[in-house]
Amino acid sequence: MRQKKLYGIFTPNMVPLDDRGRINERELRRIVDWLVNCGINGLYPNGSTGEFTRFSFEERKEIVRIVTEQVHGRAFVLAGAAEANVKLTLEAAAYYHSLGADAVAIVAPFYYKISQEGVYAYFAEIARESPIDLTLYNIPQFANDIANDTILRLAGEFPRIVGIKDSSRDLPRFLNMMHDVASVRPDFIYLSGCEEMLLPALLMGADGGTIATSGVIPEVFVKLYHLALAGQLEEARAIQYKVLDLIKLIVFGADFPEAVRQAVGLRGFQMGAGRQPLSPTQKFNLEEVARTIQCTLSEFGCVDEPAGGCAPSPVSRQSVERIVQEVIRGLRDGRS
Amino acid sequence: MRQKKLYGIFTPNMVPLDDRGRINERELRRIVDWLVNCGINGLYPNGSTGEFTRFSFEERKEIVRIVTEQVHGRAFVLAGAAEANVKLTLEAAAYYHSLGADAVAIVAPFYYKISQEGVYAYFAEIARESPIDLTLYNIPQFANDIANDTILRLAGEFPRIVGIKDSSRDLPRFLNMMHDVASVRPDFIYLSGCEEMLLPALLMGADGGTIATSGVIPEVFVKLYHLALAGQLEEARAIQYKVLDLIKLIVFGADFPEAVRQAVGLRGFQMGAGRQPLSPTQKFNLEEVARTIQCTLSEFGCVDEPAGGCAPSPVSRQSVERIVQEVIRGLRDGRS
Amino acid sequence: MRQKKLYGIFTPNMVPLDDRGRINERELRRIVDWLVNCGINGLYPNGSTGEFTRFSFEERKEIVRIVTEQVHGRAFVLAGAAEANVKLTLEAAAYYHSLGADAVAIVAPFYYKISQEGVYAYFAEIARESPIDLTLYNIPQFANDIANDTILRLAGEFPRIVGIKDSSRDLPRFLNMMHDVASVRPDFIYLSGCEEMLLPALLMGADGGTIATSGVIPEVFVKLYHLALAGQLEEARAIQYKVLDLIKLIVFGADFPEAVRQAVGLRGFQMGAGRQPLSPTQKFNLEEVARTIQCTLSEFGCVDEPAGGCAPSPVSRQSVERIVQEVIRGLRDGRS
Amino acid sequence: MRQKKLYGIFTPNMVPLDDRGRINERELRRIVDWLVNCGINGLYPNGSTGEFTRFSFEERKEIVRIVTEQVHGRAFVLAGAAEANVKLTLEAAAYYHSLGADAVAIVAPFYYKISQEGVYAYFAEIARESPIDLTLYNIPQFANDIANDTILRLAGEFPRIVGIKDSSRDLPRFLNMMHDVASVRPDFIYLSGCEEMLLPALLMGADGGTIATSGVIPEVFVKLYHLALAGQLEEARAIQYKVLDLIKLIVFGADFPEAVRQAVGLRGFQMGAGRQPLSPTQKFNLEEVARTIQCTLSEFGCVDEPAGGCAPSPVSRQSVERIVQEVIRGLRDGRS
């Protein structure tokens, strides 16, 4: 059944930084080893979780070099290769090919809003020249959308385009896409980037997923994937529901991917501070989120509870708001 | 396993009109009989497919009366009861209760954008006074969104609110909602209004769906539902994929729900003209869509092919565009 | 210069309700008189500020009857006439014509999303049959958008359509529209529904505005209008900036139009409670907003300061948040 | 009156490329000279029109070097300095300072969606370290929004932040912003990036604009600016309306900024092909747009009519659509 080129759980790994903000190579290699040992099927350096836009061209190349070396054939490497323009993208793709990456992933152009004709033209030009297989990377929250019609057109015309990593979070659309592309490209690879619905995507025929949270609990997602393959729906469903709370914290608990950084750190890695500055308020909130993540991870048996324990907070957010309103009312009445 | 109050496939039926634009009662009763005989679990009059906003208060009451009478206990009746204000909504709810409807469905306020506090207050006031069970109806495309936190709050406080019909088309959100509400209300009913992903929703624990396309091919959706319940994933998946093309035509082929009207008409009912005026261009396009729907329905064995047959069109849309561009170029060059 | 049929400041009046939630006719007549005496050019009953969707068909007719009678030719009456379908809309239009209204305003269909062809077809059918002049009412926040191309098409084909009330809040678009329509319909009337930019719209050629805040400070907007006409840019600009704070409170300070209701009440009218239920939190916030509105109105010399005075709040929202964070931190640390 | 540091019309210049896709320095210098000679108040290299994201870090530095050298003090230079992270942004800012630029413009972070706390933290860190004055650059279509509250906070805390270039196209918001910031920073500079409403913005107190179309018809925008300053409203308004058609073509006629490139080329500069690939359909459409731009420019007396003349097209788009429908209908009927 598994005859496609890429499949399974891909981790879009984060990049640990040292105290001067530089890539921490030693720690990155430790992360790669850990993920591979946990059974992850592939690494996906320079993804959105990997903050590719916050590194320089040279750094992005360095990251893929380290990851590919360290993986050393024990898992797939799908390397993010989007650069400022087609020429630089092709240069990166050629380099990743020379390093032994299995394929590159290219996000649609971002910043400018461009038409689907432009999206098509962009991928067509890259596909024509690329020395290495490529997957489309659709993440309409951050970059130009790749419409289903455009995917169908590109899949039909360019064998170099071997699959798609879809982070649109839109299952109806994902199903329509798989349905339409199947007729022109039976070998096309579908990876879901929406971790909350990994199981439904797999059940409907997806080949795997690129899962930010798999960088935090790789063992759990590897198990979910194998249960789904084995048709053990009941157990798989229990895991899918169990990870929802963690996903909510990790993906939406802070400006993405700050909470992922905290969570990976909790698994025993020195992640360093991110390159996106944080305000004092953000730092305070992140501390809270990290604490809650630690509690959730402790339920998975992955880490210990935090020092203060995980008893439910004595004050809910709502009760705080009520207190605040009363305080304000009191202050106001005191004014008269 | 089936201990919930409502479950299965609900058809949000359309309302046939006579040549003077009035409700065609005889035809409406024929539609109800047909759907019930096809095994549909419930009828959902005054839904979005039923164009509730285009009828008067009196007409909406008439529609529920006819449907409830004709169903005569052979299927659930979930009656749309949203009116211009809470007082009228409660009046409608009381009337539907007296007719023997199983529950009412209430869409969130529309037109004005209101806060979640306002959405909460609206449903809370209705739930406090309603003589009949009610389901929330979430369709953020058309009305104010009902956020998951608000659903959780309402489900926890009001036993009268027995479930939700979710048409948000957002599976991650739907899963989070089922996960969160389960802890406070194990009896809560989840109906998906997104027909492209009915199967994944059922596999993840939904109780059923309200499916516009089930008004056109009820037999197919009833079968899909039973296959899902029986755990026959392979067959169920094949049907879910098979209906995607029809859904695309019926839900998105024209201004909703004009193409549904065409499709129901193809099953042998006199639907009449809708109340929303159509331009000549719209009428022409609708004819085309109806023809394609007929071809798709003939693949299901439901109807005959149209007179002209269903061979692929000799001109694709793209080739037409190319011809047009050449024509324009010719005309332009001729100008000089 | 003023040869157009409608011009100046139109007040989309709210409808006061009695303690049983019914239209308070006596108070409504008092409001109309007050507005006319303040120099308002026109009344606009059944607008969005007037909460037309929350009344029944019969009530909407009653509202226009009362307003038209009470205005008694002393100002324009532009009556909102959108109903559930074209037939009812035409019935309303005919009735408002018989009452002596100057024109009716028709909002684009709402709830369902429809194509521009559908928007065109809707207004075309009404324009063909209407016994009274009509203005398009564009408010894409709440209803289907009326695209500039559609406005141009309708203005070119139907003399019955005499103008537009544009609440899109989009000046570039408004200017393009005036520019394009001018060539086919020199008599077309442009009313801006965006009060923050009434002056710029007038300076660029608009004929007037429908201004929710003019229901609160009619004297100020009448003055702004006359200064703009007289070319007294400096003074007009000072007023436009001065009203911004009040607009922010009134239009965005609560779920629209709850804060308008509070503000009109502060001018001495018994407005009653609205028909949209409010949660305890909403009621508390509305009290705060009303207090701030009163302080702002006192700066205009329109009302007295509230009992407690208008000194700046001793605690800012930010400082409250800081306090809350410290409280939470304290509670959390205390847990261990 | 003109005591602010920056004011007037700024041209966000495009970068001409040679036939190998490299920066065409000679032509770029010619463009700068032409703009300065036309009376433009400032150059804005590395803006959105200048396609800054499609160049490398080294190229962006090169572009500012060339522009600053060539301007040689004859106009302001406001240099776009946003880079992949704060460290690189500060490096660019220091370099532009050393070249003699007047200030740098920093767009909010893009790709990732970040909270307003994050936007604040980002600009705060840059403002603390920057050796040169900076302006915020708000363009929510492409990058994270900078909310008015955040602008107010930053303006109040950091004297290094001297102004804002606002391309939000939202006048109500722009007016609120000027109103709020005025109280804490009377020296703050407001440049509008929305060319359709440059005049209204100036009349309401803006200091100038960054205008893509001023790279095509600098003489016209310089005149509009001086008329507005001189209070000649009638003449200024005529120009503002006259440029609307050109703006529509140049800004929205193709994927931005492809039509700007065509238009600048029509003024006599070798622009070369852009770095964003274009499909055959896009190239065909662009040819059409360029032709229409040329016709419009000929009305301004800036260029000659195109070879084929500028008579109105013998076929409108609508009539083409009708023809196409008839062709399809004929083909379809022929199938039977």
pTM listed for this prediction: 0.95
Q: Is B138 helix (H, G, I), strand (E, B) or coil?
A: strand
- Residue B2, pLDDT > 70, answer no
Crossing angle for the helix pair C148-157 and C171-184, nearest 10 degrees?
Answer: 20
Residue A66 pLDDT > 50: yes
Position A296 pLDDT exceeds 90: yes
Can you tell me whether residue B82 is helix, strand or coil?
coil
* pLDDT for the residue numbered C322: 59
Backbone angles phi, psi at B169, to 5 degrees: 65, 20
pLDDT band per the 50, 70, 90 thresholds, residue A328: low
Residue B265 banded pLDDT, cuts 50, 70, 90:
very high
Residues of A in contact with D125 (CB under 8 A): 277
Residue C179 phi, psi dihedral angles, 5° rounding: -65, -45
- What digits encode the pLDDT tens for the residues B38-90? 999 999 999 999 999 999 999 999 999 999 999 999 999 999 999 999 999 99
Instruction: State whether residue C238 sits within 8 Å of chain D by CB.
Output: no
pLDDT tens digit string along D257-301? 999 999 999 999 999 999 999 999 999 999 999 999 999 999 998
Contact C111 B276 (CB under 8 A): no
Contacts of A115 in chain D (CB under 8 A): 255, 282
- Is residue C328 pLDDT above 80, yes or no? no
Q: What phi and psi values does residue B79 have, to the nearest 5 degrees? A: -100, 125
State how far the Cα of C175 lies from the Cα of B138, in Å rounded to an integer: 37
The Cα–Cα gap between A234 and B181 comes to: 19
Asked if D279's CB is within 8 angstroms of A121's CB, the reply is: yes
Position B332 scores a pLDDT of 55
Comparing CB atoms, the residue among B88, B111, B255 nearest residue C142 is B111
Does A113 participate in catalysis according to the annotation?
Answer: no
Main-chain dihedrals φ then ψ at residue C335, nearest 5 degrees: -70, -30
Judging by DSSP bridges, how do beta strands B8-11 and B208-210 pair with one another?
Answer: parallel
Chain C and chain D share a number of CB contacts under 8 A equal to 63
Closest C-alpha among D74, D12, D70 to residue D45: D12
What confidence tier does D335 reach under pLDDT thresholds 50, 70, 90?
A: very low
Whole-angstrom distance, CA of residue A190 vs CA of residue A136: 10
**CA–CA separation, B7 and B163 (whole Å):** 10
Distance from CA of B204 to the nearest CA of A (A): 7
Determine the distance in angstroms separating the CA of C176 from the nearest CA of chain D, rounded to an integer.
7
Residue A336 in this model has a pLDDT that exceeds 50: no
What chains are in contact with A, requiring at least 3 Cβ pairs below 8 Å? B, C, D
Q: How many Å apart are CA C310 and CA C300, to the nearest integer?
A: 14
B143 in reach of chain C (CB within 8 A): yes
Gap between the Cα atoms of D41 and D239, Å rounded: 19
Cβ pair D113, A143 in contact under 8 A = no
Tokens at B252, concatenated = 């998105």
Residues of C designated as active site? 137, 165
Q: What is the pLDDT of residues A195-231, one digit of tens each?
A: 999 999 999 999 999 999 999 999 999 999 999 999 9
**A121 close contact with D: CB closer than 8 A:** yes
Give the pLDDT confidence score for residue C242 in this predicted structure: 96
Cα separation of C157 and C137, whole Å?
Answer: 17
Q: How far apart are CA A103 and CA A45, in angstroms?
A: 11
D39 token code pair: 């009376």
Type of residue numbered B1: M
Q: Is C130 helix (H, G, I), strand (E, B) or coil?
A: coil
Size of interface B-C (CB pairs under 8 A): 117
Tell me: the pLDDT tens digits for B197-212? 999 999 999 999 999 9
pLDDT at B1 over 50: no
Whole-angstrom distance, CA of residue C50 vs CA of residue B5: 40
| Of residues C324, C293, C322, the one with CA closest to residue C310 | C293
| D17, D51, D54, D111, best to mutate vs chain A, most A CBs in 10 Å | D111
Taking a C-beta distance cutoff of 8 angstroms, is the pair B43, B67 a contact?
yes
Strands (E), chain A: 8-11, 42-43, 76-80, 103-107, 134-138, 161-166, 189-192, 208-210
pLDDT band for A335, please (50, 70, 90 cuts): very low
The residue of chain B nearest to residue D328, with distances taken between CA atoms, is B315
Question: Using omega within 30 degrees of 0 as the cis cutoff, is the peptide bond preceding A257 cis?
Answer: yes
Under the banding of pLDDT at 50, 70 and 90, the label for residue A311 is: confident
Active site residue B5: no
CA distances from C332 to A294, A312, C329 (A): 15, 10, 5
D183 touches chain A (CB under 8 A): no
Tell me how long chain D is. Answer: 336
Chains in contact with chain C (at least 3 beta-carbon pairs closer than 8 A): A, B, D
Cβ neighbours of C245 in D, within 8 Å: 179
Question: Coil, strand or helix: which one is C18?
Answer: coil
Residue holding tokens 């605690």? Answer: C315
Q: How far apart are CA C142 and CA C52, in angstroms?
A: 13
Residues composing chain B = 336
For residue B335, pLDDT beyond 50? no
pLDDT reading at C169 higher than 90: yes
pLDDT given for residue D336 in this prediction: 38
Q: Which residue has the tokens 């409203």?
A: D233
Judged by a CB distance cut-off of 8 A, whether residue D244 touches chain C is yes
Model pLDDT for residues B13-29, shown as the tens digit of each residue:
999 999 999 999 999 99
**Cβ neighbour number for residue D96 with a 10 Å cutoff:** 28
Q: Is B56 within 8 Å of C57 (Cβ atoms)? A: yes
> Looking at chain D from residue 277 to 306, which residues have their Cβ under 8 Å from any Cβ of chain B?
281, 284, 288, 291
> Which pLDDT value is given to residue D308?
83
Q: Are D93 and D132 in contact (CB under 8 A)?
A: yes
Beta pairing class for B134-138 and B189-192: unpaired
Instruction: Give A3's pLDDT tier (boundaries 50, 70, 90).
Output: low
Q: Per residue in D13-57, pLDDT tens?
A: 999 999 999 999 999 999 999 999 999 999 999 999 999 999 999
